[in-house]
Amino acid sequence: MKKTLHPIKITVNGIESTHAVEPRLLLSDFLRQDMELTGTHVGCEHGVCGACTVLLDGEAVRSCLTFAVQIDGHQITTVEGLGSNPDELHPLQQAFWDAHGLQCGFCTAGILMTIIPFLEANPHPSEEKIREALSGNLCRCTGYQNIVDAVKLAAERGVGQPNPDD
Amino acid sequence: MTAIGKSVPRVDAHGKVTGETLYPGDINLPNQAYLKILFAGRPHAIIKRIDTENAAASRGVLAVLTAKDVAINGYGLIYPDQPVLCGPGSSRRFADRVRFIGDQVAVVIAESEELATRATKLIKVDYEDLPLLTDPIEAMKNDSLLIHPDREDNILRHNKIRKGDVEAGFSQADVIIEAEYKTPVQEHAYLQPEAGLGYIDEEGRITVQVAGQWTHEDQEAIALALNLPIHRVRIIYPAIGGAFGGREDMSVQIILALAAIKLHERGIDRPVKIIWSREESIVGHHKRHAFIFRSKWGATNDGKITAAEVEVIQDGGAYACTSTKVLGNATLMCVGPYEIANVSVDAYSVYTNNLPGGAFRGFGGPQAAFAAECQINKLAHALGIDPVEMRMRNLLRDGSLTAVGTPLPEVVTIDRVVAASAEMAGWEKGPEGWSSPPAESLGSPAEKYLKRGIGIACGFKNIGFSFGHPEKCTTSIELLGGSEIERVIVYQAGADVGQGAHTVIAQMTADAVGVPLEMVEMVLSDTAKTEDSGSASASRLTYMTGNSIRGAAAEALMHWRAEDRPAKATFTYTPSATTDFDSSTGYSTPNFAYGYVSEVATVEVDMETGHVRLLKVICADDVGKAINMQQIVGQIEGGIVQAAGYALMENFIQENGQVATQHLSTYLIPTVLDIPEEVESVVLEFAEPNGPWGVRGMAEMPYIPLAPVVVAALHDATGIWFDEFPLIPERVLLKLQEEKGT
Ligand code: FES
Ligand code: FES
């Protein structure tokens, strides 16, 4: 069985590259294996848990439900692409650390990537809105309260408002 | 300068928020090959023949392994009754059988996961199906169909308690409550599915990197099953994506070691890697045991419980795992934290063809507390006594004898814990005793078809291993510097499963040595570098590591003062001994320390749909001493939500030995929209006399009373007792309609 490979040209975390991928290769596998970006986690392979969430042209998508070929010509941001430089955390990351918004941390990357565009669209969210935004991400450890609080803290610190960190 | 009692931010958070932290599935080694396991997929059968020829010849396949390749081919935390691989030609008798659908039959090692998966489909297995036993009550009675034919029956263990004279006790009673309670299976659903790597390290050790709960137990299990000297096996834990008891038994550990050795024997030195899918995880690892409790309790008009008689039946599933230990807890705790003069308990662990039951947060405690707390709430209601007052008249205190004839170790604080939760919820203590808050205080629901109710339940749970199981924890500490200490290195195997153990280890080390936190370096969770610390389970790690850290720090400081450079010490902490149940009376000293918890919950039930919403949970937990308050509150909130899933929504379906809920799309766990509107943590610090800094241990406690407190609140709202859960809307509605009809 011979497989056709499809050329794709993409920008991942600001860096452009070209690849040849099998048509059925999932974006999650592509990122984790081909790009060695293992910060994107796979918890269910079915679009349920949200652990695999990345940004596709700034929108949160589930990389386990996306094929690598679909991102041809597009921009992807993973958790590794947050923060303006390696020594400085993105303020959303810092808020999760400060508010104890994680325990095992396996859900964290997906939650951060879900919240980035949410706060951009809603820089001053109510608690209810935050809960709604988080409703597609599973966390088995924290009971969610500290995650909600971390998002609140990030909003208070200006994440989502124009250019808080750069 | 002390680091104790501060909400120190997690030491491992940086990597977790940046994505740099590596969980087992994130690690890639040069030239690695991939494993795929062929699961049985059928619940009870004899394997007549396995034909691996086509699989072995398929493209990219390096090896196909079956039962013949496993030296001892048996493992298990208490009995080695589980084959590593099931099939003919095994060194062990009856290893040719599969006993549940998750039994492992063959392993393919190939160049890629895809090629390995393809090859597993080419393996031909001839099964001869056997009749099924999936009902533990039937399995108990059936001596002709044996799940383990080397045993006389399907009863793995029978615990007995005989204290006083229950018949006399019931004759003194004015009210007797009898009920049958059923508690469901629960899936751990840690977000990181099982994964790991196996390879031969630079010193020739068979090395497995995996997410577990006890490095040295994994090491021993591999060494035993594969007949290796223990020092030839090395276990390393990278980051662990949740555990909750679900990683206490072996999953991929032995298979990874087996594959690494077998390749090595064939002259191929390549690392092997495996990642389970969610489906494989759900089928492949043990679950929280389902239990049945048949309880009969009696009490006098003045609210004194006079007798309790309980039959406990635990569905152990196909293999022993930790069933007997879980049963031990349920045996002790099924009569609650109450002083009852006359007690009779018969508790059975039974083999069936269901998924094996094993460790899960609370370890038999939540199941037993469900029966016990429902019983005392029903008695209080029948007697017209306030449920807090009823507890105060019966709770164990210092010196009271438990059902097993011995007192709890001092200081027993459950009465103060119950009082704290009750007061927070608006109970008042008057000259007549405790009285509940007025109904108006619950607020009124927005719609007529909604009803609100409030309830209370409490619980107790051991810290550390029980019933004579050996218990110890070792730490090494090294002090470096010249005239002043400049560096402190602590060597600790304790697993950080997400609970924050490593942060607490750093805090306790800093305090014990007397240096700032930043000076502490940690060498963690590697059997080649750290000594046995015991498992991350039984709410024991802070208590046990803390005591061993204190011992090691004191000795290292002594060497330091004697001018040793570096000054190093290793200390093993051993708590006071515990004993197993006496076989005829149950007399024992089961545990060396306990944690205490009490919860008040407010619920709102939709009488038209049966949907139950948790409005508020108040959790009072005596933690002894909060080393890190932020992490304690995190455990309370996380434990309550996990227990809310257990009580209200997680519906694990097994039929004829098959699992109908193999994905997170069918097995639903709480999202942020399912959590209580408010969780109030009341952290109490009544020092445990032998705990380090007074620590008790707490991670399981908040889980324990949640299901019965929901039932109590639901009864307050509807007047109906629910003896079975999860309280999914269908079940609630059916019962509401039934009661309306009668
Ligand atoms: S792995 Fe993609 S949503 Fe769970
Ligand atoms: S922190 Fe473990 S799943 Fe969220």
Is residue A135 in some structural domain?
Answer: yes
Average pLDDT over residues A22-36: 97
For residue A104, the ligand closest to its alpha carbon is 2
Q: How far is A5 from chain B (nearest CA, A)?
A: 16
Q: Does A114 touch chain B (CB under 8 A)?
A: no
State the sign of the Cα–Cα–Cα–Cα dihedral A37, B250, B133, B50: positive
**Per-residue pLDDT at A1 exceeds 60:** no
Gap from CA of A64 to ligand 1 centroid (Å): 5
Residue A110 near ligand 1, beta carbon < 6 Å: no
What does the CA dihedral B440, B441, B442, B446 come to, rounded to 10 degrees? 60
Q: Do B7 and A100 touch (CB under 8 A)?
A: yes
Do residues A159 and A91 lie in contact, with contact meaning Cβ atoms separated by under 8 Å?
yes
Q: Does A26 touch chain B (CB under 8 A)?
A: no
State the sign of the Cα–Cα–Cα–Cα dihedral A20, A25, A27, A32: negative
Supply the mean pLDDT for chain A.
95
CA pair distance B121, B633, nearest whole angstrom: 47
User: Helix count (H) and strand count (E) of chain A?
Assistant: 5, 5
Q: Structure tokens of B31? A: 């030239």
Gap from CA of B117 to ligand 1 centroid (Å): 21
CB < 8 Å from B in window 37-56 of A: 37-49, 51
DSSP alpha helix (H) spans, A24-144: 27-29, 91-98, 108-121, 127-134
Nearest residue (CA) to ligand 2, atom 3: A139
Kindly report, residue by residue over B26-77, the tens digit of the pLDDT. 999 999 999 999 999 999 999 999 999 999 999 999 999 999 999 999 999 9
Do residues B32 and B195 lie in contact, with contact meaning Cβ atoms separated by under 8 Å?
no
Structurally, chain A folds into a number of domains equal to: 2
CA pair distance B415, A52, nearest whole angstrom: 46
Q: What whole-number percentage of chain B has pLDDT above 70?
A: 100
- CA B484 to the chain's CA centroid: 43
Nearest to A46 among B13, B663, B675 (CB): B663
Is residue A164 in some structural domain?
Answer: no
Kindly report, residue by residue over B358-390, the tens digit of the pLDDT. 999 999 999 999 999 999 999 999 999 999 999
Which of A37, A53, A81 is the last residue in one of the domains?
A81
> At B538, phi and psi to the nearest 5?
55, 30
pLDDT of A3: 72
Q: Do B241 and A104 touch (CB under 8 A)?
A: yes
DSSP alpha helix (H) spans, chain A: 27-29, 91-98, 108-121, 127-134, 145-156
DSSP alpha helix (H) spans, B384-500: 387-392, 414-424
Q: Are strands B195-200 and A6-12 parallel, antiparallel or unpaired?
A: unpaired
Is residue A86 in some structural domain?
Answer: no
Residue of B nearest to A137 (CA): B671
Shared domain check, A52 and A95: no
Residues in B closer than 8 angstroms to A106, CB to CB, are: 23, 190-192, 241-242, 498
**Per-residue pLDDT at B276 exceeds 60:** yes
Nearest to B19 among A47, A79, A142 (CB): A79
Gap from CA of B6 to ligand 2 centroid (Å): 22
SS3 of A144-157: CHHHHHHHHHHHHC
pLDDT of A2: 59
Q: Are strands B61-65 and B124-129 parallel, antiparallel or unpaired?
A: unpaired
* Per-residue buried b or exposed e for B392-421, using 16+ beta carbons within 10 Å of the residue's own CB: bbbbbeeeebbbbbeebbebbbbbbbbbbb
Residue A49 near ligand 1, beta carbon < 6 Å: yes
Shared domain check, A67 and A96: no
pLDDT of A165: 47
How many alpha carbons lie under 13 Å from residue A140 in its C-beta half-sphere? 28
Query: Using 50, 70 and 90 to split pLDDT, how confident is the model at B143?
Result: confident
**Per-residue pLDDT at A19 exceeds 70:** yes
Q: Do A105 and B665 touch (CB under 8 A)?
A: no
Gap from CA of A25 to ligand 1 centroid (Å): 15
Nearest residue (CA) to ligand 2, atom 2: A104
What does the CA dihedral B295, B300, B305, B309 come to, rounded to 10 degrees? -30
Residue of B nearest to A84 (CA): B18
Q: What is the CA radius of gyration of chain B?
A: 26
Instruction: Spell out the domains of chain B, with CATH numbers in brackets.
Output: 31-130 (3.90.1170.50), 287-466+583-741 (3.30.365.10)
CA pair distance B584, B88, nearest whole angstrom: 40
Q: Does B117 touch chain A (CB under 8 A)?
A: no
Kindly report, residue by residue over A91-128, the tens digit of the pLDDT. 999 999 999 999 999 999 999 999 999 999 999 999 99
Kindly report, residue by residue over B528-542, the tens digit of the pLDDT. 999 999 999 999 999
CB < 8 Å from A in window 462-521 of B: 497-500
How many pairs of residues across A and B have Cβ atoms under 8 Å apart? 170
**Amino acid present at A62:** R
Spatial CB neighbours of B339, under 8 Å, sequence gap ≥ 6: B394, B395, B396, B397, B400, B401, B402
Do residues B61 and B42 lie in contact, with contact meaning Cβ atoms separated by under 8 Å?
no
Residue of B nearest to A132 (CA): B673
Do residues B305 and B296 lie in contact, with contact meaning Cβ atoms separated by under 8 Å?
no
**Per-residue pLDDT at B398 exceeds 50:** yes
SS3 of B596-622: EEEEEEEEEEECCCCCEEEEEEEEEEE
Spatial CB neighbours of B698, under 8 Å, sequence gap ≥ 6: B539, B595, B621, B623, B624, B632, B635, B636
How many alpha carbons lie under 13 Å from residue B517 in its C-beta half-sphere? 18
CATH of the domain at A31: 3.10.20.30
Q: Does A93 touch chain B (CB under 8 A)?
A: yes
Residue of A nearest to B21 (CA): A39
Kindly report, residue by residue over B583-596, the tens digit of the pLDDT. 999 999 999 999 99
How many alpha carbons lie under 13 Å from residue B493 in its C-beta half-sphere? 27
The closest of B186, B190, B185, B230 to B212, measured between CA atoms, is B190
Is residue A32 in some structural domain?
Answer: yes
Do residues B459 and B619 lie in contact, with contact meaning Cβ atoms separated by under 8 Å?
no
Do residues B550 and B512 lie in contact, with contact meaning Cβ atoms separated by under 8 Å?
yes
Is residue A165 in some structural domain?
Answer: no
CATH of the domain at A110: 1.10.150.120
User: Quick count: other Cβ atoms within 10 Å of Cβ B435?
Assistant: 15
For residue B641, the ligand closest to its alpha carbon is 2
Which of A56, A81, A106 is the last residue in one of the domains?
A81
DSSP readout, B683-696?
Answer: EE----TTSGGG--
The closest of B351, B357, B355, B358 to B133, measured between CA atoms, is B351
Q: What is the extent of the structural domain holding A15?
A: 6-81
Q: Do B638 and A103 touch (CB under 8 A)?
A: yes
Q: What is the CA radius of gyration of chain A?
A: 16
Q: Does A23 touch chain B (CB under 8 A)?
A: no
Residue A12 near ligand 1, beta carbon < 6 Å: no
Taking the CA of residue A64 as reference, the ligand 1 atom at the shortest distance is 2
Do residues B417 and B622 lie in contact, with contact meaning Cβ atoms separated by under 8 Å?
yes
Q: Does B387 touch chain A (CB under 8 A)?
A: no
Gap from CA of A111 to ligand 2 centroid (Å): 10
Shared domain check, A126 and A60: no
Interface test with A, best of B59, B669, B672 (most A CBs within 10 A): B672
CA triple B462-B289-B544, angle to 5 deg: 25
Q: Structure tokens of B124? A: 């031909």
> At B69, phi and psi to the nearest 5?
-85, -5
pLDDT of B742: 64
Gap from CA of B63 to ligand 2 centroid (Å): 36
Do residues B593 and B468 lie in contact, with contact meaning Cβ atoms separated by under 8 Å?
no
CA pair distance B377, B108, nearest whole angstrom: 54
Q: Out of A127-131, B182-186, B442-446, B725-729, which region has the weakest mean confidence (pLDDT)?
A: B442-446
Residue of B nearest to A98 (CA): B9
Do residues B477 and B513 lie in contact, with contact meaning Cβ atoms separated by under 8 Å?
yes
End-to-end CA distance of chain A: 50
Residues in B closer than 8 angstroms to A149, CB to CB, are: none
**Per-residue pLDDT at B121 exceeds 50:** yes
CA pair distance A94, B410, nearest whole angstrom: 43
Q: What whole-number percentage of chain A has pLDDT above 90?
A: 90
Nearest to A104 among B191, B278, B670 (CB): B191
Query: Using 50, 70 and 90 to split pLDDT, how confident is the model at A87?
Result: confident
Shared domain check, A144 and A117: yes
Residues in B closer than 8 angstroms to A89, CB to CB, are: 14, 17-18
CA pair distance A114, B49, nearest whole angstrom: 50
State the sign of the Cα–Cα–Cα–Cα dihedral B63, B67, B68, B71: positive
Shared domain check, A73 and A108: no
Gap from CA of A99 to ligand 1 centroid (Å): 25
Q: How far is A131 from chain B (nearest CA, A)?
A: 6
The closest of B629, B634, B636 to B685, measured between CA atoms, is B629
Gap from CA of A28 to ligand 1 centroid (Å): 9
Kindly report, residue by residue over B598-618, the tens digit of the pLDDT. 999 999 999 999 999 999 999
Shared domain check, A95 and A138: yes
Pocket test for ligand 2, best of A42, A96, A100, A104 (most atoms within 8 A of CB): A104
Which of A81, A109, A138 is the last residue in one of the domains?
A81
Kindly report, residue by residue over B283-325, the tens digit of the pLDDT. 999 999 999 999 999 999 999 999 999 999 999 999 999 999 9
Query: Using 50, 70 and 90 to split pLDDT, how confident is the model at A83?
Result: confident
Residue A147 near ligand 1, beta carbon < 6 Å: no
Shared domain check, A18 and A63: yes
**Amino acid present at B591:** N
Is residue A166 in some structural domain?
Answer: no
Spatial CB neighbours of A109, under 8 Å, sequence gap ≥ 6: A39, A40, A41, A51, A53, A78, A79, B19
Residue A8 near ligand 1, beta carbon < 6 Å: no
Do residues B169 and B300 lie in contact, with contact meaning Cβ atoms separated by under 8 Å?
no
Kindly report, residue by residue over B160-214, the tens digit of the pLDDT. 999 999 999 999 999 999 999 999 999 999 999 999 999 999 999 999 999 999 9
pLDDT of A164: 47
Is residue A103 in some structural domain?
Answer: yes
Q: Does B679 touch chain A (CB under 8 A)?
A: yes
Query: Using 50, 70 and 90 to split pLDDT, how confident is the model at A166?
Result: very low
Pocket test for ligand 1, best of A38, A40, A41, A62 (most atoms within 8 A of CB): A62
pLDDT of B1: 53
Nearest residue (CA) to ligand 1, atom 3: A47
The closest of B105, B39, B123, B82 to B662, measured between CA atoms, is B39
Residue A141 near ligand 2, beta carbon < 6 Å: yes
Is residue A50 in some structural domain?
Answer: yes
For residue A42, the ligand closest to its alpha carbon is 1
Shared domain check, A95 and A62: no
Shared domain check, A58 and A99: no
pLDDT of B142: 87
Pocket test for ligand 1, best of A27, A41, A46 (most atoms within 8 A of CB): A46
Shared domain check, A47 and A25: yes
CA pair distance B190, B669, nearest whole angstrom: 10
Supply the mean pLDDT for chain B.
97
Residue B242 near ligand 2, beta carbon < 6 Å: yes
> At B544, phi and psi to the nearest 5?
-75, -45
Per DSSP, which regions of chain A are E strands?
6-12, 15-21, 53-56, 59-62, 75-77
Question: What pTM was computed for the model?
Answer: 0.97
